[in-house]
Amino acid sequence: MRYISTRGEAPALGFEDVLLTGLASDGGLYVPESLPHFSLEEIRSWRGLPYSELAFNVMYPFVDDAIPEDAFRRMLDETYDGFVHKAVAPLVQLDTNEWVLELFHGPTLAFKDFALQLLGRLLDYVLEKRNQHAVIMGATSGDTGSAAIEGCRRCEHVDIFILHPHERVSEVQRRQMTTVAGDNIHNIAVKGNFDDCQRMVKASFGDQSFLGGKVRLAAVNSINWARIMAQIVYYFQASLALGGPDRSMAFSVPTGNFGDIFAGYLAKKMGLPISQLVIATNRNDILHRFMSGNRYEQHQLEHTLSPSMDIMVSSNFERLLFDLHGRDGAAVKELLENAARGPVSIEDYRWRHARKLFDSDAVDDRATCQTIRQIYDENEYLLDPHTAIGVKAARTCRRDRSVPMITLGTAHPAKFPDAIAEAGLSVKPQLPAHMADLFEREERYTVLENDLASVQDFMAKHWKHA
């Protein structure tokens, strides 16, 4: 399997190099040159498989022989054995043909665990094989950071630097990151927002000279192809559990960096019958505005009750634009360079094609709270604010009630007690036993100005072998 850049200039790479490279050297994102396609018969034959076996079937064509089958299987078993629910990704029914796919039973209570607990193992395997060290640089609006730290903390070959927006993640999210001890773990609170953090990460991949040429940077954000690859699997798992592939499914996906929903789009291209994909955003609704009016325009980032989705520059949207433009990297490059300067549109026929692929809705804090309350009243089931946005958008956009509508449950409500209280519920979501003492643990993090040079200087001084 070869991977090519969405901007068309960087060299094509194999899986192992894509895993380590993160952002392509031309600033683009790597995508597979071609996708594997599974027949209905083959998908049907996977019914009832344990999650890690299904994951092997879906993912191994992307890995190819870069990693031997038995080693990859071992990593998958270890990864998904670490989830507390036996089903790994259980479905909970809200109403007739309406479901939540709970993706928060991994160690850090958000869907990021599906990919990041595996990514840590993949990176360690490849770095060990090459006898190399890497400095991981990641940006988080709250969930990627803790999942990446958990996934990499035992890796012998990495230092990890996670940038989060200072005072803009929930207290549980911050503590999940900052209370993990380890001399290779570094948390930086940037006095800015998530987009500022992500911009610094991308700029650092573009010019790694601040590390003195002594070590390479690696990515844990969904710019790293391996993140997307692992997130494709649960679309297959949910569908198979509800009678797929012999019936079609609809998915509603709370969206920020466009990684999770892009994985759903790929699942469909790989042969899974999906009749509807709903992009669910909060008030930071650039993607909804684009889908509704073919205008891609950045507004001021707002702080909402769903902080993990407070994102304006959606990295993975570039991967979709690449497909919408017939995989013309030069066209994508030009479009995104223009988008950085002001509003852009795409040719009408391309936009109409996008509208056939996705529906969308934007949900504000008031409607988020209403949905949390409503679902609790109807089912005594507690939604976190991100999942609530997915459920609300699913109900607004649903086209065919005979098709199961599955909202991705992206985080555990215990990560966002303030939003639950804001929704007017007195119920207190409990942290699981392994986090019971989270508020007593010592925190370690450094607050830095919203300034690339300060962040790079900190990293250059603090990685283990600096």
Q: Give the residues lining the site for ligand PLP (CB under 6 A).
A: 110, 142-143, 222, 254-261, 308-309, 386, 410-411
Q: Report, in Å, the least distance between residue 175 CB and ligand LJ64HWYM.
A: 15
Give whichever of 211 and 220 is closer to ligand PLP, judged by the CB atom. Answer: 220
Q: Report, in Å, the least distance between residue 103 CB and ligand LJ64HWYM.
A: 13
Contact partner at residue 254 from ligand LJ64HWYM, ligand PLP, none, CB < 5 to 8 Å by partner kind: ligand PLP
- 187 touching ligand LJ64HWYM, by CB under 6 A: no
Give whichever of 21 and 387 is closer to ligand PLP, judged by the CB atom. Answer: 387
Is position 112 annotated as part of the catalytic site? yes
Contact partner at residue 120 from ligand LJ64HWYM, ligand PLP, none, CB < 5 to 8 Å by partner kind: none
Footprint of ligand LJ64HWYM on residues 8-47 (CB under 6 A)? none
Q: Report, in Å, the least distance between residue 116 CB and ligand LJ64HWYM.
A: 8
Q: 219 has which bridge partners?
A: 137
Q: Which two tokens stand for residue 166?
A: 């200072």
Strands (E), 340-397: 359-362
Q: Which two tokens stand for residue 229?
A: 């690859």
Distance CA 74, CA 49 (A): 16
- 257 touching ligand LJ64HWYM, by CB under 6 A: yes
Distance CA 374, CA 376 (A): 5
Q: Report, in Å, the least distance between residue 352 CB and ligand LJ64HWYM.
A: 28
Closest to 331 (Cα-Cα) out of 315, 359, 350: 350
Give whichever of 140 and 248 is closer to ligand LJ64HWYM, judged by the CB atom. Answer: 140
Footprint of ligand LJ64HWYM on residues 85-144 (CB under 6 A)? 140-144
N residues, the chain: 466
Footprint of ligand LJ64HWYM on residues 189-248 (CB under 6 A)? 221-222
Give whichever of 176 and 456 is closer to ligand PLP, judged by the CB atom. Answer: 176
Residues 6+ apart with CB under 8 A from 348: 294
Q: Which two tokens stand for residue 402?
A: 């005979």
| Phi, psi (deg, nearest 5) at residue 239 | -65, -45
Q: Report, in Å, the least distance between residue 146 CB and ligand LJ64HWYM.
A: 9
Distance CA 283, CA 305 (A): 10
Closest to 242 (Cα-Cα) out of 130, 374, 100: 100
CB 385 within 8 A of CB 370: no
Give whichever of 282 and 308 is closer to ligand LJ64HWYM, judged by the CB atom. Answer: 308
CB 221 within 8 A of CB 144: yes
Q: Report, in Å, the least distance between residue 356 CB and ligand PLP.
A: 20
Give whichever of 27 and 413 is closer to ligand PLP, judged by the CB atom. Answer: 413
Contact partner at residue 63 from ligand LJ64HWYM, ligand PLP, none, CB < 5 to 8 Å by partner kind: none
Candidate list 248, 308, 371, 407; residue touching ligand LJ64HWYM; CB under 6 A: 308
| Phi, psi (deg, nearest 5) at residue 108 | -110, 10
Contact partner at residue 411 from ligand PLP, ligand LJ64HWYM, none, CB < 5 to 8 Å by partner kind: ligand PLP
- Roughly what angle, to the nearest 10 degrees, separates helices 329-339 and 317-324? 130
Give whichever of 66 and 438 is closer to ligand PLP, judged by the CB atom. Answer: 438
DSSP state of 404: P
| Alpha helices per DSSP H over 101-242 | 112-130, 143-152, 171-178, 194-206, 225-241
Contact partner at residue 221 from ligand PLP, ligand LJ64HWYM, none, CB < 5 to 8 Å by partner kind: ligand LJ64HWYM
| Alpha helices per DSSP H over 22-99 | 40-44, 51-63, 69-81
CB 147 within 8 A of CB 106: yes
Which of 86, 112, 333, 464 is flagged as catalytic?
A: 112
State CA 346 to chain mean position distance: 25
Residues designated catalytic: 112
Interface ranges with ligand LJ64HWYM (CB under 6 A): 140-145, 221-222, 256-257, 259, 308, 315
